[in-house]
Structure formats: structure tokens, C-alpha cells
Amino acid sequence: MYNSMDMINSSAVSSSIALVFIAAVITKVAWGRITADPASRNTLPHPPAVSGSSVIPLLHTLVTKGFRAMLQEQYTKFGSVFTISFLGMKTTFLVGPEVSAHFYQGPESEISHGSFLEFTVPMLGKDVGYGVDIATRTEQNRFYLDVLKPAKLRCHVAPMLQEVEKYFAKWGQQGTVDLKQELEQLLMLISARCLLGKEVREKMFGEVFSAFHELTENSLQLTSLLFPYAPTLTTRRRDRASARLSSIFAEIVRSRKSSNRVEEDVLQNLIGSKYKDGRPTTEAEGKHTSTATSTWTGARLLSHTECLEAALEEQQQIVKKHGDNIDYDTLLEMSFLHCCIKEALRMHPPAPIFLRKVHKNFTVRTREGYEYEIPKGHTIASPLVINHNIPYIYKDLDVYDPHRFGPGREEDRVGGKFTYNAFSGGRHACPGEAYAYMQVKVIWSHLLRNFELKLVSPFPRDRLAKACPRT
Ligand code: HEM
Ligand SMILES: *[C@@H]1O[C@H](CO)[C@@H](O)[C@H](O)[C@H]1NC(C)=O
């Protein structure tokens, strides 16, 4: 591995690079803006670009200040559309709702996931997710749509509540817990119960849990995301965990088939299909994202007395109205808690950036009226870390403020459909959104009603605030 600090510190090289950088940026900006004048329409310019040695200061910011700061700098400098060229790969960033419609809605023949979700292939196995072609994937997603649709969601509430009550009964009267670890365990139990079925929940829980844990810990790291097939310790561990899970699930499928048993769960949907073996697809991701979401919601709530009190007040009102009973409809009434989760997701989106491949030239028009052509072959990126922090959309964006999504403000609609992207949008919008909100609400309404909580550790660090691939 190269250390970019060393490269920058070799002084003679450093000053000449700095000069090239400044010169390059000034010319590129000037070129982009002048030709982007809406008056000259025949030849649309490409977006302003950073390439060659000008990328070095960018890497420096990435290492010292983090991913978000690096993109924020480029956004401030260039505006909502810019290209970063690195190692022969051109990635064009589309920031904000005005330039995002085609990214999210363009037909698969023009804009696709391409090979950029390749990291989910080693993580989840070749027969599911992004290792299969689009038709097969659409079919697989239909199974999820089925288990996750509102009529089925209602049936998940009671088992979720049982798992939650049983789990927190173990906490006793008082003590100190590692919230993230606890929530991860609990969410695994809920997934096992609601999505994977009885065998996993009752017999193989320990084994499945540790394999899942290894899989997500070792897959969702910056290094694995950028270089999915690199022969590192992390990728080896991930592949081992993935293989272990596959064989566990294949075993369940075999035993169900031989005894002609039918269960109502995702696993069964996969067996019921024409696929030979049912592997866990999105559970690993769905559980991971929900763990992050419920942990951040907790961390934020427990550090904002006013929000915590408002959330408690809402629970008290609901208890007054419905007693201790919680069902699908009472969960829908928890609109403030809903906004608390949504705001935690705005500030800490578990999927911080989406990538796609361009198969056909297209044009975008920025809020300021500049037009650019994005050519075929570019990678395009929708960086949520910036989209969720645009000052003309989100007021006081560094403040945790769930009310911003409430009646009268609805900041997530200010720029139209693609203003808020925590669950993506358009063609590949997350089908698990309602299910995810439901399970996080079941957990937090229980905690709010039954415990007095206090954050005793320092506020957790967001790994994207500072690039630190190893932690
Ligand atoms: C807070 C929790 C969650 C968040 C923030 C989240 C977010 C996302 C995002 C951003 C995508 C799109 C990725 C892209 O466009 O490249 C996605 C896709 C998906 N999610 Fe979720 N998700 C969550 C929970 C879940 C759960 C619990 C499930 C299922 C049990 C689930 C099932 C799926 C599926 C099947 C897809 C693929 C959709 C497609 O490719 O068309 N998600 N999720
Ligand atoms: C697409 O863009 C490239 C590069 O700007 C250009 O050479 C090509 O002619 C364009 N193709 C079409 C079909 O417009």
C-alpha cells in the first residue's frame, strides 16, 4: 500500500504538483462554466473535471479530513456536477435532486448497476443479488416484495414484539450495555424469526449469528468495497463466512424438501422458486443497515434532551389511547419516532454513496442553469453524504432536528422526489423500507416505555466523517 502522506511530503515534487493543481483547476472551471452558458446549446460541455496530478490534494483531504470533506470541497469548488478521474476511471458526481432524476429513474439499458455492486457478489454469493442478471434479480426481489408488502407486514408485528420483550427482559433492573452489540443481536433474532424461519431461530442461531456477523463486519469496509477481490485477510474471512452460511442454508432447504415441510418465510420463497439453493441475500444487508439505524437513532435521541422528551411524550399519548398494546396501526401513529429515525438516517445513511454505469450519453441541467453532457462509459455517483447536507434544502443541517420532516416543513420534499435518498429511490428503491421502520420502532418504543437511558460513552464517531478504512 502506498502512503499518500509520504508522496506529498517529498518536498520538491510537492511544490510543482501544487502549481499544476492550481493551474489545472482554474482552467477547468473557466472552461466548464463559459461553454456551459445556456446560450451556446449545440455542443454541451462535459462536467468540470479533476484529473492527473490534481487528484493528489484530493487524496490528501480524503486521508486527513475524510470522505465527506473531500467531496464537500469539490462541490463547493465546482457546483453540483463534477468529474474525478483516477486510475483511468472517470466518476461523475451528481449532487442534489435537480441533477439526480436520470440517475435514479433512467432505464437499465442506459444506466445500470453495472459491475459496481460487485462487492455484494463476494458477500452474498454468486447466485443471488448482483451476481445474477437483471431478469433473475427482478424475480428474486419479487419474493421480498411479497414478504415485505403491507398485508404481510402486519403479521410480523407480534413475533417482533415477542422477540423484543424476551430480549430486553434479560437486561434486569439496571446496568451498562453496549447498545450497538445488543441491537445487532436483537435484530438478528428478529430477522431469523420473521425472515429466515424456525430452523435458524431455534437450532442454529449461534452458528448463523457468528457467520452473519463476520460477513457484514468484513464486507462492509471501505477496502472491501473498493477492491472486492483483493486477497486480504478481510476478504478471506468474508468468503469463509459466506461459504459457511451457504452450506447451513442449503442443509435447511434439503431437510425441508425431504420432509415436505412448508414454512412461511423468505427461505421458503426461495425454495419455492426454481432456484436450487436458497441463500441469504438481503438479510445480511437489511440487518446491518437496521442495526446502524437503530444505534444512531439511540445515540442521537440520548444526546438531545428535547427530542428524547418529545419521543417519550408521544409514547405516553399512545399508551393513554391504546394501553400497552402495540400493533401495526399503533406503530403508524408513532410519527415523531418515525421522524427521529428518518433524521438519524439523514445524518448517518448506512449506504453513503450509490454508483451506476452510464451506457448512453445524457444531459443534466443544474439549478443554476448550466447544462452538461455525461458521456457513455462514465461511472456516475450519487453521494448521500452531500445530498443530505445541502444548505438550501436542509435548515441548520448539522443539528439533529426530527421536526424538519414534520407537518409544515417537510424538508425532504423541498427538491422533489430525490431530495432524501436514504432508501435510494426510483428503479432500485429499497423494498424493505416499511419493514425496517417497523422493526426499529418496535425496538425503540419498547426501550422508551420501559427504561430510563443515558449515554455514558462519548458520542460515537461516524466512520465517514474521517477516512479510516481499518476501523
Ligand atoms: C434502515 C434500513 C435499510 C436501509 C437504510 C436500506 C437501504 C437500501 C438502499 C439504499 C438500497 C438501494 C441500493 C442501490 O440503489 O444501489 C436498498 C436495496 C434493497 N434493500 Fe434495503 N435498506 C434497509 C433495510 C432493508 C431490509 C430490512 C430489507 C429486507 C428485509 C431490505 C431489502 C432490500 C432489497 C431486496 C434491495 C434491492 C432492491 C433492488 O435492487 O431493486 N432493505 N436498501
Ligand atoms: C456521446 O458522447 C461522446 C463524447 O462526448 C461523443 O463522442 C459521442 O458522439 C456521443 N454519442 C452520441 C450518440 O451522441
**Residues 248-286: tens digit of each pLDDT:** 767 766 776 666 665 655 555 544 433 323 333 444 556
Q: Residue 424 C-alpha to ligand 1 middle, in angstroms?
A: 8
350 Cβ closer than 6 Å to some ligand 1 atom = yes
**Is 340 one of the annotated binding-site residues?**
no
Closest residue by Cα to residue 103 from 393, 341, 384:
384
Q: What values do phi and psi take at 109, rounded to 5? A: -70, -20
Which protein residue has the closest C-alpha to ligand 2 atom 10?
361
Closest residue by Cα to residue 324 from 337, 311, 315:
315
pTM confidence score: 0.79
Amino acid at position 428, single letter: H
Q: What is the pLDDT of residue 27?
A: 36
Q: What is the pLDDT of residue 278?
A: 31
Mean pLDDT of 196-207: 66
Atom number of ligand 2 nearest to Cα 375: 2
Q: Which ligand is nearest to the CA of 377?
A: 2
Higher pLDDT among residues 281 and 395, named by residue: 395
Closest residue by Cα to residue 199 from 274, 273, 278:
278
* Domains of the chain from N-terminus onward: 4-113+357-382 (no CATH), 126-349+394-403+433-450 (1.10.630.10)
Q: By percentage, how much of the chain surpasses pLDDT 70?
A: 65
Strands (E) in 87-225, as ranges, are 89-94, 111-112
Which protein residue has the closest C-alpha to ligand 1 atom 18?
430
Distance between CA atoms of 353 and 356, rounded to whole angstroms? 10
Three cell numbers, residue 434: 416499511
**Which of 44, 361, 371 should be mutated for ligand 2, with most atoms under 8 A from CB?**
361
Atom number of ligand 2 nearest to Cα 361: 1
Question: By the 8 A CB rule, do 352 and 71 touch?
Answer: no
Mean pLDDT of 289-300: 92
Higher pLDDT among residues 333 and 251, named by residue: 333
Which CA distances in Å does 416 have to 94, 100, 365, 389?
15, 10, 15, 15
Q: What is the pLDDT of residue 289?
A: 84
Least confident of 31-35, 154-158, 426-430, 439-443: 31-35
Mean pLDDT of 276-301: 70
Q: Residue 432 C-alpha to ligand 1 middle, in angstroms?
A: 6
Mean pLDDT of 93-109: 96
Distance between CA atoms of 438 and 187, rounded to whole angstroms? 12
Closest residue by Cα to residue 48 from 70, 73, 31:
31
Distance between CA atoms of 337 and 441, rounded to whole angstroms? 7
Closest residue by Cα to residue 388 from 48, 100, 33:
100
Task: Classify residue 319 as exposed, middle or buried by CB count within 10 Å of its CB (0-12, 13-18, 19+).
Answer: middle
Q: Which ligand is nearest to the CA of 46?
A: 2
Least confident of 50-59, 60-69, 194-203, 419-428: 194-203
Higher pLDDT among residues 404 and 203, named by residue: 404
pLDDT mean across residues, the chain: 77
Q: Residue 297 C-alpha to ligand 1 middle, in angstroms?
A: 18
* Cβ neighbours of residue 181 closer than 8 Å, sequence gap 6 or more: none
Mean pLDDT of 221-233: 48
Q: What is the pLDDT of residue 112?
A: 87
Residues near ligand 2 (Cβ within 6 A)? 361, 373, 375-376
Residue found by looking up cell 421502520 in the block: 437
Mean pLDDT of 139-144: 54
Q: What is the pLDDT of residue 10?
A: 31
Q: What is the pLDDT of residue 461?
A: 82
Mean pLDDT of 155-160: 91
**Is beta strand 81-86 parallel, antiparallel or unpaired with respect to 49-50?**
parallel
Question: By the 8 A CB rule, do 91 and 379 touch?
Answer: yes
Three cell numbers, residue 40: 451556446
Q: Which ligand is nearest to the CA of 421?
A: 1
Stated as kind and residue range, the H or E segment containing 81 is strand 81-86
